[in-house]
Amino acid sequence: MDKVTLIGIDLGKTSFHLHGQDKAGRMMFRKKVTRKQLLTFFSNFHSITVVMEACAGAHHMARKLKEFGHQVKLISPQFVRPFVKSNKNDFADAEAICEAASRPSMRFVTPKTESQLALSALHRVREALIKDRTSTINQIHGFLLEFGVSLPVGHAVIKRLPALLAEHPLPPRLVAMLERLHAHYKYLAEQVSDIEKELHTQLADDEIAQRLMTIPGIGPITASVLAADMGDGKQYGCSRDFAASIGLVPRQYSTGGRANLLGISKRGDKNIRRLLVQCARSIMKNADKRVDQLSLWIQIMLTRRHSNVVACALANKLARIAWAVVARHKVFEEKAFVMPA
């Protein structure tokens, strides 16, 4: 075991498959263990490099193994898949993880802290509640439309649904069903409101999120999501690396020395990408009324490109600004455009 320099772990819920190899890449052992046995094994093992896929439970396990003095690396699963030999099984996956980690050009995922994971979970619950609330609203609209009642779009009309139901002769069973949906809608709206209050409370104590909110267009929700995803930003070499990680750079299909750039790659977290594009559109609405450098750039771009293209380009710029604000511990300073003499 003293010759082992790298261990790959194929993570599971209750069972874990280990693949150990030496400096030359030769297999030294294979082992299947339970969660308790895994922690006991690494607590008694000499300091070593441990590699896992960045999947469910990986960040927690990375923190545990670091406490035992090991160096832990996480790899995105799509980078491991090409190294799986022949048929797929758990030991082959563990071996592929070691093989991928041995590549000098491999990119790794930085383990998240408990606070980052908790904040990320809060955002996921909020998104699920909003999706459920929208589905409930659509059901109410659909059921009423079947009986010739067309409601305006928006939350205001749903809030006064009981009064609207009294104005139309509808079957009692349908009215009872709609009242039940309305009660469910109110419950979901309250839950979303409570979560947003909790997010605002956390943001008041989050120095990174406060600096992110100095960037034009970025509000509490987007700042909170960015803070949970980036951390200190040190895992990205530059601002373009962060923009590329969330899919806001052109996708390439180049060959024969001829560069062919397509639309944005849409890689990474689509929720962050969606929020940044929405932030960009909010800035574009009032760009013609402002005189700062960013607004001037938007106005010039809108004369040359479609608004959707400008929105994605501006989202890319916001992502790069956000990385600079986080990594360099600064706030965004808006500079006014000065006309040349």
Domain-ending residue, one of 101, 123, 148: 101
Output the domain CATH number for residue 73: 3.30.420.140
Q: Under a CB-based contact definition with an 8 Å cutoff, are residues 1 and 15 in contact?
A: no
Same domain membership, residue 75 and residue 36: yes
Q: Under a CB-based contact definition with an 8 Å cutoff, are residues 246 and 273 in contact?
A: yes
**Domain count for the chain:** 3
Same domain membership, residue 83 and residue 30: yes
Domain that holds residue 225: 214-327
Rounded to whole angstroms, the Cα distance separating 85 from 19 reads 14
Rounded to whole angstroms, the Cα distance separating 101 from 109 reads 12
What is the per-residue pLDDT across 171-225, written as a single tens digit (0 to 9) for each?
889 999 999 999 999 999 999 999 999 888 888 888 888 889 888 889 889 998 8
DSSP state for residue 81 in the 8-state scheme:
G
Same domain membership, residue 275 and residue 225: yes
Domain-ending residue, one of 176, 205, 234: 205
Residue 141 included in any domain = yes
Q: Residues of the chain whose pLDDT is less than 50? A: 337-341
Same domain membership, residue 170 and residue 242: no
Taken in order 303, 306, 307, 311, the sign of the CA dihedral is negative
pLDDT the model gives residue 335: 65
Residue 341 included in any domain = no
Residue 338 included in any domain = no
Same domain membership, residue 171 and residue 77: no
Domain-ending residue, one of 153, 171, 205: 205
Residue 32 included in any domain = yes
What is the per-residue pLDDT across 11-30, written as a single tens digit (0 to 9) for each?
988 899 999 988 888 888 89
